Structure 1
Amino acid sequence: MAYKALYRKLRPGSFSQGYVAQQHIRTTLQNSLKNKKIAHAYLFSGPRGTGKTSTAKIFAKALNCLEGPTPEPCNVCSVCKKINENSSLDVLEIDAASNRGIDEIRDLRDKVNYAPSESRYKVYIIDEVHMLTTEAFNALLKTLEEPPTHVVFILATTEPHKLPATILSRCQRFDFRPFKTAEICQYLMEICENNGIYIEEEAAQILAGKADGSMRDALSLLDQLIVYGDGTITASLVLDVLGVLSPSTINELIGYIFDRKLDQALELLDIIIQQGKDIQSFIEDIINRLRDIMFENLKNPKGSIGLSLQELIRIIEIFIQGSKDIKNSSHPKILLETLIIKSIEGDYRKLSLLEKRIEDLEKVLNSPSFKSTPRVEVVEKVKDDKGQSSIGFNTIKNSWDKVLFAVKKESVSTHAWLKEGILDKLDGDTIEIMYEDKYLLHRENIMKENHKNIIEKVLTNIFNVDLKIKAITKEKGKKNNPKMKEKDNLVSMAEKLFGQDLVEVKD
C-alpha cells in the first residue's frame, strides 16, 4: 500500500474527531444541519492548516449522508465512502489558483444546473478562492446569489480581504483561528502515544512553536522526525533536523543585546552561523522571544531586563524590519550582524539610556526624602582683600536670569522694578544695580524695604551667601567723556579675557 502522509492519514472524518474546527464553527454547522437550515454559500477563512478544507468535506458528507442531513456523517454508507475517497461526482473540489479564469467559472456556472447524480446536494468546494480574477468573480456573482436549490458553494481562503464585497455579502462567513501552541503540543503527544512513538515534551513544544498555529505544518514536521528518529524524538533531534536554536541560546544572545555586550553577541552569532542554522528562522525565534519578554515586562514593570519598554519595542522593530529585508538579501550574514549592532549601538539606545537617567533623576527629585533635604548649590568663591570668602561676580552675572525668575515668583511688582536695572559690579557683599536716568522711579522703588528684602532673600537662597543690593544712577561723565569711554572698552575687553574678578582698574 502506498505511503500516506500523516496529515492526510489523520484528516478528521466527522465533527467529533480530532481538531477539525473551533467550537463555534462546529456548533453552528451542526445546528444548521439539525434544523435543516442550509445556506447556499459559505465562506471558510483563516490561516493555513486550520481545518478549512477538512470541515468543508465533513459538511458535504453530512449534507449527503444516506442518514442525513445529519449533524454527524456515518462514514459507512456508499455516499460517505465515495466522498472520503474523492470519487464522488457530486462533491467537487476546485483549486482556484490553477482554475482562476473566466472560462473555468463559466463552465462551472453551466454545470450547476444539472441535478446531482447520486447525492442530495451538489457541493462545490473552491479552495484559495481569492486567486480568481475580477472577471471570474463577476461571472460567479449571479450563480452564487441564486444557485439551484440542490447546489451548495463552500469557498475557502487564507486572504478574505482580497475578495470583492459583492462576494462576501452573499456568503455565511466562518473565521478559523490559528491553533494554540499548547493545543498542537498536546495533539502531537497523543498521536505519538497512540502510535508507540516516544517524544519528549520539550520536543513537542518546539514542533508546535515552529508550526505557527498550523496543525498541518505540525503534522508534516512530526512525520519527518518520526522517519529520521526511527521512533524516538528528542528535543536535540528536533533542533538538529529543523536547524533551529535552543531557547537557552536565544536567551543568551538577547542577554548580550540587553547588556550592550557587542563583542560577545557577535562572537556567539558567528558560532551560530557556522553551525549552519537557518538565518530567517533564527530571526523569527529572536522576535518571538522578544515578544514574550515584552509581555512579561508589561505584567511586571519592575523586572530586571535593564531597559525600558520603549527601548525593547524599538529593538523588536529593528528585527521585524530585518526579517523582511533578509528574504531578498544576498548577504544575510552581514545583514544579521548589522541588526545586532543596531540593536546595541544605535543612537536610539543612547537616547533611551539618557531618557532612563532623566526618569531616574525625576524619581529622586520627586521623592519625599529629597524634598526635605536642604538645597546646596556649588558657586564660585573668591578671596577678598581681607581674606574673607565671598561670591564671585561672574557667578552672579551668569545666574542673573535665575535671580530675576525667582524674584518674579515671589513678587511681580518687585520683578518689574528690578528687571530694568543693569548688574554693574560687586563691592564686597553688596551688588550694585545701575539704572539710567529715565528709570529713576525704578531705582527709588527697588530700594524700598519690602522690595529690597525680597531680592536679598532670593540672592541668599540661590547663592548661599548673605548679599545686599544697592541701586545707583548711571554716571553721565562716563557716557560723554571719550577717554573714559575708551577706558571702559579696554576694561570690558580685559574682563572678557581674564574674568572681571581678576581685573583691577588703577588710575
Structure 2
Amino acid sequence: MAYTALYRVYRPQSFRDVVGQTHVTTTLRNALREGRLSHAYLFNGPRGTGKTSAAKIMAKAVNCEQPQDGEPCNQCATCRAISDGSVTDVLEIDAASNRGVEEIRDIRDKVRFAPSDVRYKVYIIDEVHMLTTEAFNALLKTLEEPPPHVIFILATTEPHKLPATIISRCQRFDFHRIALQEMVVHLKQICQEQQVEVEDQALHLVAKLAEGGMRDALSLLDQAISFSGNQVTLRDLVLITGTVSQTYFSLLAKQIAEQDIGGLLEQFHQVMVQGKDPEQFLQDLLYYYRDMLLFKTAPNLQEIVERTLIDEQFAGVASLYSLPVLYQVIEALNQALSQLKWSSQARVLVEMTLVKLCELGRSREQTPVAENTGQNVAELVKKIQILEERVNQLLQGRVTVAAATQVEETRAPQTQRRAPMGSGGSGRSSLNKVRETAQSANRALTQQLIGNWSQILAEVKKVKIQFQAWLINGQPVAASDRAVVVAFTSPIHCEKTMEPELRGIVERVIQATTGKELQFFSVMEEDWKEIEAQSSQPGEQSSEADADPFVSEALKLVGEQLLEIKE
C-alpha cells in the first residue's frame, strides 16, 4: 500500500480533533445539538488551521445517522461514505480552478434538486475569494435563499477580497493561528503513535517554522522523519530546513555585545559555507533580538515562548544588552532587510550590517548619554537665568531700547497669530505696508489690476492649480507703485496666500502681467474697510501706540521718557 503523508493520516475526523480552534468547534457543536443550523457559513483564517477539515466534519455531523452531542459518530454508513468522498450530495469545489460564472450557474441549477443519499446537500467551496465578480453575482441570490435541504460552507484565506453582500449572508467564523504550545503537544502525540523519538527543541523549531499552521508542521515533521528515521534531532532539522539554531544566534549576539568583529565574521562565514540564505539569516537574527527585547521588557509575556526557548544561555546574553542598544540593533536589522531586496550583493550587505551592529555599542561608549544630557540641562539653566534678569529689569523700570526691542521680538509670533492677515510676513510691519499702500494708492494701476485679475489667476493656475484655488477668494483693492493689496473674505485663504512660496509666484505673475515689480499683501475685507476709512480721514487716524498693543504695554511699564519707537 502506498505511503500516506502525515497531514492526511491525522486529518481531524471530529470537532474534538481540531487543534486550537475551540471558539469555532464549540459554537458549531452547540448549533448542531440544538438544531440551529444556518444555510451558509464562512470559514476564514491562515492556511493549515483546519478550515476545510471543519467543513467536512460539519457535512458529516448534519447527515450523521447517530450524532453524539453535536459530533459525527464516524461509524455509520453515511459518515464513512462522506469520509471516503463517495457521497455525491457533499461536493467540495476548488474555486481557484472553478472560478467562472458557468460553474456557479451549474451549482445554482442543481441546488433545487433534493439530495439522493443523505439529509442535506453540502457545498464546500474552498478558496472562495478566487471567484470572479460575475460568479459572485450568480451565487448571491442562491446563497441568500437556498432550498431548506442545502448548506453552503465557504472557506478562504483572504476574506477581504469577498464582496460585503456575500459576507453578510453567512455566519462568519475566524480561524486563528495555532499556539505553539498546543502545536507541540499535538506533535508529541503523533510522534508517540508513530514510534518516533524527537528532541523537544526540534519540535519547537518545527512549530516555529510552521507559523501557526498544523498542516505545515506535519509536513516538516514528515520530512524530518524521512531524513533521520526514528530519531529526529535539532541538528538534522536545522540541516534540512536551512535555518540556524538558537545556540548559534546566542553566540553571535554575545560577539556583537563584546565587539568581536573577527569572530563574528568567521561565524557568519561558516553559515554561508553551509548554503544558508542571507535574507533568512537576517530574519532569524531579527526575531532573536525581538525576543530578547520582549524578555527584558515583559518577561511574563506568553508570546515570548512562541519564538525562542528561554534558557540560561539566552538570559545571560540578554543581560549584556541595554534597551537603547536593543532598539538600535532591531532598527538596523530592519533597515538591512529592506535594502536586501534591492541589493545584488546580499552577503556583503549582511557583513556590513554585522560590523555596524558592533560599532553601535562602541559609539555609545564614546558619547555617554548622561554627559550629553547634563550639557543640555546646563545650557537651558543658563538661558533661563538670562531671561529672569531681563524680566527683573523690565519690572524695575530700567528697560532700555534694546530690551524693549527684544521683548517685541520674543512676542512677535503671538502677534502673527493674532493678526488679521496671513502668517507668512504678517504682523505690524505688514499692516503698516497696507496702510502706506492705501494712502499712496494709484487709482489707474488699481483699476488695471482689477481688470487683469482673471488673467493673473489663469497664469497662477498654470504654475499650480492649488495656488489659484487659494487666490480665487480675493480681489485687488489697492495698488501703489511699490505694492498691491488683495482683500479676502475667508481667513484661511487670507493666511494661506501670505506663505512665501505662493506669495513669490503671485508677485512674479503680477510683474509679468503689468510690467511693474510690486509686493503682494493680503488682508481681511473687514480690516481693509477700517484701514480705508482711516486713510480717507487722516486727522482721525489712530496713533502708533493705539495701533500696536505691545507699544502701549511698553509705555505703561517704562513711560514715554525711556521708550523710543523705531520703524
Read off the aligned partner of 2:172 and give its amino acid letter: R
Partner of 2:152: helix, strand, or coil? strand
Give 1:41 shift. Answer: 0.8
Q: Give 1:211's aligned residue.
A: 210
Query: Once the two structures are superposed, what CA deviation does each residue of 1:283-306 show, in whole Å capped at 9, x if it has no partner?
Result: 332222122112123237xx7453
Work out whether residues 62 and 70 of structure 1, in 8 Å CA contact, stay in contact via their aligned partners in 2.
Answer: no
Q: Give 2:481's aligned residue.
A: none
Q: Give 1:333's aligned residue.
A: 347
Give 1:3 shift. Answer: 0.9
2-structure distance, mates of 1:131, 1:91: 21
2-structure distance, mates of 1:317, 1:292: 14
CA gap 1:407/1:320 in 2 versus in 1, 3 angstroms: closer
Work out whether residues 21 and 51 of structure 1, in 8 Å CA contact, stay in contact via their aligned partners in 2.
Answer: no
Q: Give 1:37's aligned residue.
A: 36
Task: Using the TM superposition, name which of 170-179 and 274-283 deviates more.
Answer: 274-283
Equivalent positions of 1:398-409 (< 5 A) are 404-405=386-387, 407-408=389-390
2-structure distance, mates of 1:415, 1:254: 65
Q: Give 1:127's aligned residue.
A: 126
Work out whether residues 293 and 326 of structure 2, in 8 Å CA contact, stay in contact via their aligned partners in 1.
Answer: yes
TM-score by length of 1: 0.68
CA gap 1:102/1:337 in 2 versus in 1, 3 angstroms: farther
1-structure distance, mates of 2:109, 2:69: 29
CA gap 1:4/1:249 in 2 versus in 1, 3 angstroms: same
Q: Give 2:27's aligned residue.
A: 28
Q: Give 1:250's aligned residue.
A: 249
CA gap 1:324/1:131 in 2 versus in 1, 3 angstroms: farther
| Among 336, 354, 357, the residue aligned to 2:368 | 357
Task: Using the TM superposition, name which of 170-179 and 332-341 deviates more.
Answer: 332-341
Partner of 1:32: helix, strand, or coil? helix
Give 1:93 shift. Answer: 0.9
CA gap 1:322/1:145 in 2 versus in 1, 3 angstroms: farther
2-structure distance, mates of 1:402, 1:77: 88
Q: Give 2:11's aligned residue.
A: 11
Q: Give 1:190's aligned residue.
A: 189
Equivalent positions of 1:130-209 (< 5 A) are 130-209=129-208
Query: Once the two structures are superposed, what CA deviation does each residue of 1:118-138 show, in whole Å capped at 9, x if it has no partner?
Result: 011111111111111222222
Work out whether residues 65 and 74 of structure 1, in 8 Å CA contact, stay in contact via their aligned partners in 2.
Answer: yes
Equivalent positions of 1:278-317 (< 5 A) are 278-299=277-298, 304-309=319-324, 312-313=326-327, 315-317=329-331
Read off the aligned partner of 2:12 and give its amino acid letter: P
Partner of 1:124: helix, strand, or coil? strand
1-structure distance, mates of 2:388, 2:123: 83
**In angstroms, what is the RMSD of aligned CA positions?**
3.5
**Alignment: residue pair count:** 386
Partner of 1:16: helix, strand, or coil? helix
Equivalent positions of 1:453-492 (< 5 A) are none
Q: Give the gaps of 5 or more residues in structure 1.
A: 367-374, 378-399, 422-507
Give 1:255 shift. Answer: 3.7
Read off the aligned partner of 1:333 and give its amino acid letter: R
2-structure distance, mates of 1:163, 1:129: 8
1-structure distance, mates of 2:19, 2:373: 56
Give 1:323 shift. Answer: 4.5
Partner of 1:43: helix, strand, or coil? strand
Equivalent positions of 1:321-470 (< 5 A) are 322-323=336-337, 326=340, 330-341=344-355, 343=357, 357-358=368-369, 362=373, 404-405=386-387, 407-408=389-390, 412-413=394-395, 416-417=398-399
Identity %: 45
CA gap 1:323/1:297 in 2 versus in 1, 3 angstroms: same
Give 1:358 shift. Answer: 3.7
1-structure distance, mates of 2:259, 2:398: 53
Q: Give 2:59's aligned residue.
A: 60
- Of structures 1 and 2, the larger Rg is shown by 1
Partner of 2:368: helix, strand, or coil? helix
Work out whether residues 34 and 70 of structure 1, in 8 Å CA contact, stay in contact via their aligned partners in 2.
Answer: yes
Work out whether residues 407 and 415 of structure 1, in 8 Å CA contact, stay in contact via their aligned partners in 2.
Answer: no
Work out whether residues 179 and 214 of structure 1, in 8 Å CA contact, stay in contact via their aligned partners in 2.
Answer: yes
2-structure distance, mates of 1:68, 1:116: 19
2-structure distance, mates of 1:418, 1:129: 81
CA gap 1:401/1:325 in 2 versus in 1, 3 angstroms: closer
CA gap 1:416/1:237 in 2 versus in 1, 3 angstroms: farther
1-structure distance, mates of 2:161, 2:279: 27
2-structure distance, mates of 1:61, 1:403: 83
2-structure distance, mates of 1:188, 1:50: 14
Give 1:226 shift. Answer: 1.3
1-structure distance, mates of 2:387, 2:395: 12
Read off the aligned partner of 1:408 and give its amino acid letter: R
2-structure distance, mates of 1:329, 1:30: 53
CA gap 1:12/1:96 in 2 versus in 1, 3 angstroms: same
Query: Once the two structures are superposed, what CA deviation does each residue of 1:95-128 show, in whole Å capped at 9, x if it has no partner?
Result: 1111112222222222212211201111111111
